[in-house]
C-alpha cells in the first residue's frame, strides 16, 4: 500500500483519511486549523458523521493516521479543500479556487517524480489544469513526471463512510496515465465502478449531478408555492403524482443547502452564462423559497402578536442543511433563522446536533416546545419526528408533522 497525504480534514478529507488508513495506507492528514490537527491526533473528531469517531480513533491508535499542519512527502496527494463562491458583477456567483491553488503550492516543495496528485474538491472547469500549472511552476519536478487527476466526491452526509467505499467514481486524468494511476489507487478501497475519462469531463460530471438535483428540487419548491396559493397539500399532491410510473417528484423544503447542490450550478453558469437560463432560474427559485419562508413566518408572527397582546415567540427547529448532520454550509434553515433574528423577532432556536453556535443561542428542544407560540420546522431531524403537536401553531417546511393543510404544513 502507498503513503497518502490528504489536504483538508473536513467533511470529506477526514472520512477519506480514516477509510484509507483502514485499507492499509499510511495517511498524513493536513489542515491549516491547529485545533483540528490536535483533535485528530487525539483520535477524536470535530464533525458529526456516523461511525467516524470509531474509525478515526482506530486509525490513530494503529499509527496509520497522523495529522499535521504542513504536507509531507508521500506517494499520493489528495486535495479536499473548500471551493466557495462569491458574487460577480453580473449577478452570477463566481467560483473561488484559491484554497485549491494554495494546497498545490503547499505540496509542490515535497513532490517527487511519479507522485499522483488527486483533486476531489468540487471545482469549476479548468481547475485541474490550473492545479497542474501551479505544481509545474512551483516544484522542481518536470510536469510529465507528475500524475494529476480529478475525482470528485459524491457522498451523502450521514452515509459518508459507506459511500466512500460503495459508490462509483469518475476519474478524469490530465493524461491517460494519470487516469489509470488514479483508478489503481481508488481500487485499493472502492468497491464501486471506477470510470476513467479526461479531467474536464470529470469536472463537468460533478457539476451536472448536483445541478440536476437542484433543478428537480426547484420544481418541487415551486409547486409548494402554487399549492400554498391554492390551499392544496403539496405533499399529498406529490404522493399522488408519484404513482405515475414515470414520475418521481422530489419533496419541497425551506430552500437548498449544503456545499454542493447550493453551489455547483453556479460553476456551470459562470462557465457559460448565456447557455444556462434553466440552471440559473432553478438556483433563484430555491433561494427564493427561503425568502418566502421568512416572509411567511414574519406574517404569522405579526398575526399571533395581535392575538396574544405581546411579541410571539418563534421556535425554529433545525439549523443544519439536512437531517441528522451538524453541517451548516449554505444551510437555508440557518439563513432563515438568522434573518428572523435580524428582523427583531423573538426566536428560540434548536439544533440537536450542535452544542453551540457563534451567533445564535441554542435552546434544548424541551424548552422550545414549552415556550414557543409558533413552531417552524425547518429540518427533519430524528428528534423532531413523532412529536405531539396537537393544538400547536406549526409551520412545517420539511414534512415532519404530516399534518394536512397548505404548503409547508
Please report the pLDDT score of residue 277 as a whole number.
97
Average pLDDT over residues 252-266: 92
Are residues 197 and 232 in contact, defined by beta-carbon separation less than 8 angstroms?
Answer: no
227 within a domain of the structure (yes/no): no
Are residues 387 and 294 in contact, defined by beta-carbon separation less than 8 angstroms?
Answer: no
Q: What is the mean pLDDT of the chain?
A: 94
**72 & 145 share domain:** yes
**236 & 193 share domain:** no
Residue 206 known to be catalytic = yes
Span 55-81, pLDDT tens digits: 999 999 999 999 999 999 999 999 999
pLDDT band at 89 (very low <50, low <70, confident <90, very high): low
223 within a domain of the structure (yes/no): no
The number of folded domains in the chain is 2
**165 & 255 share domain:** no
Average pLDDT over residues 232-240: 97
**181 & 318 share domain:** no
Show which of 176, 199, 222 is a domain's final residue.
199
**8 & 143 share domain:** yes
Helix axes 98-107, 127-138, angle to 10 degrees: 30
Please report the pLDDT score of residue 408 as a whole number.
38
Residue 260 known to be catalytic = yes
**237 & 374 share domain:** yes
**165 & 254 share domain:** no
pLDDT band at 91 (very low <50, low <70, confident <90, very high): confident
Strands 169-173 and 147-150: antiparallel
Q: Which among 4, 5, 190, 206 is annotated as catalytic?
A: 206
215 within a domain of the structure (yes/no): no
**238 & 118 share domain:** no
- Tell me the residue range of the domain where 123 lies: 3-199
Residue 102: CATH number of its domain:
3.40.50.720
**174 & 255 share domain:** no
224 within a domain of the structure (yes/no): no
**70 & 179 share domain:** yes
305 within a domain of the structure (yes/no): yes
327 within a domain of the structure (yes/no): yes
119 within a domain of the structure (yes/no): yes
What is the three-state SS of the chain? CCEEEEECCCCCHHHHHHHHHHCCCEEEEECCCHHHHHHHHCCCCCCCCCCHHHHHHHHHHHCCEEEECCCCCCCEEEECCCCCEEECCCCCEEECCHHHHHHHHHHHHHCCCCCEEEECCCCCCCHHHHHHHHHHHHCCCCHHHCEEEECCCCCCCCCHHHHHHHCCEEEEECCHHHHHHHHHHHCCCCCCCEEEEEHHHHHHHHHHHHHHHHHHHHHHHHHHHHHHHHCCCHHHHHHHHCCCCCCCCCCCCCCCCCCCCCCHHHHHHHHCHHHCHHHHHHHHHHHHHHHHHHHHHHHHHHHHHHHHCCCCEEEEECCCCCCCCCCCCCCHHHHHHHHHHHCCCEEEEECCCCCCCCCCCECCHHHHHHHCCEEEECCCCHHHCCCCCCCCEEEECCCCCCCCCCCCC
Q: For the stretch 121-136, what's the b/e string if a residue is b when 16 or more beta carbons lie within 10 angstroms of its beta carbon?
A: bbbbbebbebbbebbb
Span 370-401, pLDDT tens digits: 999 999 999 999 999 999 999 999 999 999 98
Are residues 328 and 258 in contact, defined by beta-carbon separation less than 8 angstroms?
Answer: no
pLDDT band at 407 (very low <50, low <70, confident <90, very high): very low
**236 & 170 share domain:** no
Q: Which among 4, 151, 190, 260 is annotated as catalytic?
A: 260
362 within a domain of the structure (yes/no): yes
**291 & 385 share domain:** yes
Average pLDDT over residues 221-245: 97
Amino acid at each position: 500500500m502507498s503513503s497518502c497525504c490528504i489536504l483538508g480534514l473536513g467533511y470529506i478529507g477526514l472520512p477519506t483519511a480514516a477509510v484509507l488508513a483502514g485499507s492499509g495506507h499510511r495517511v498524513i492528514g493536513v489542515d491549516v486549523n491547529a485545533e483540528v490537527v490536535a483533535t485528530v491526533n487525539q483520535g477524536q473528531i470535530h464533525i458529526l458523521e456516523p461511525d467516524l469517531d470509531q474509525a478515526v480513533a482506530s486509525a490513530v491508535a494503529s499509527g496509520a493516521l497522523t495529522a499535521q499542519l504542513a504536507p509531507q512527502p508521500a506517494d499520493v496527494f489528495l486535495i479536499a479543500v473548500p471551493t466557495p463562491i462569491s458574487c460577480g458583477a453580473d449577478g452570477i456567483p463566481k467560483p473561488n479556487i484559491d484554497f485549491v491553488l494554495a494546497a498545490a503550492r503547499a505540496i509542490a516543495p515535497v513532490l517527487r517524480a511519479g507522485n499522483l496528485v488527486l483533486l476531489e474538491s468540487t471545482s469549476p472547469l479548468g481547475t485541474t489544469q490550473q492545479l497542474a500549472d501551479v505544481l509545474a511552476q512551483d516544484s522542481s519536478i518536470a510536469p510529465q513526471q507528475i500524475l494529476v487527476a480529478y475525482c470528485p466526491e459524491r457522498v451523502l452526509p450521514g452515509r459518508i463512510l459507506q459511500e466512500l467505499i460503495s459508490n462509483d467514481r469518475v476519474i478524469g486524468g490530465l493524461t491517460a496515465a494519470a487516469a489509470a494511476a488514479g483508478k489503481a489507487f481508488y481500487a485499493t478501497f472502492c468497491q464501486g465502478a471506477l470510470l476513467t475519462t479526461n479531467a474536464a469531463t470529470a469536472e463537468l460530471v460533478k457539476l451536472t449531478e448536483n445541478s440536476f438535483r437542484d433543478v428537480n428540487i426547484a420544481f418541487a419548491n415551486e409547486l409548494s408555492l402554487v399549492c400554498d396559493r391554492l390551499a392544496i397539500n403539496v405533499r399529498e399532491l406529490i404522493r399522488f403524482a408519484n404513482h405515475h410510473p414515470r414520475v418521481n417528484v422530489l419533496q419541497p423544503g425551506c430552500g437548498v443547502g449544503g456545499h454542493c447542490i447550493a453551489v455547483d450550478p453556479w460553476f456551470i453558469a459562470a462557465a457559460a452564462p448565456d447557455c444556462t437560463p434553466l440552471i440559473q432560474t432553478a438556483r433563484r427559485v430555491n433561494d427564493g423559497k427561503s425568502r418566502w419562508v421568512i416572509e411567511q413566518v414574519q406574517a404569522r408572527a405579526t398575526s399571533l402578536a395581535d392575538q396574544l397582546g405581546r411579541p410571539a415567540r418563534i421556535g425554529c427547529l433545525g439549523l443544519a442543511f439536512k437531517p441528522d448532520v451538524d453541517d451548516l454550509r449554505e444551510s437555508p434553515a440557518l439563513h432563515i433563522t438568522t434573518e428572523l433574528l435580524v428582523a427583531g423577532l423573538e426566536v428560540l432556536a434548536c439544533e440537536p446536533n450542535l452544542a453551540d453556535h457563534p451567533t445564535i443561542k441554542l435552546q434544548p428542544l424541551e424548552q422550545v416546545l414549552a415556550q414557543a407560540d409558533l413552531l417552524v420546522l425547518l429540518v427533519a431531524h430524528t428528534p423532531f419526528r413523532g412529536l405531539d403537536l396537537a393544538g400547536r401553531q406549526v409551520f412545517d417546511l420539511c414534512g415532519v408533522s404530516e399534518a394536512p393543510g397548505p404548503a409547508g404544513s
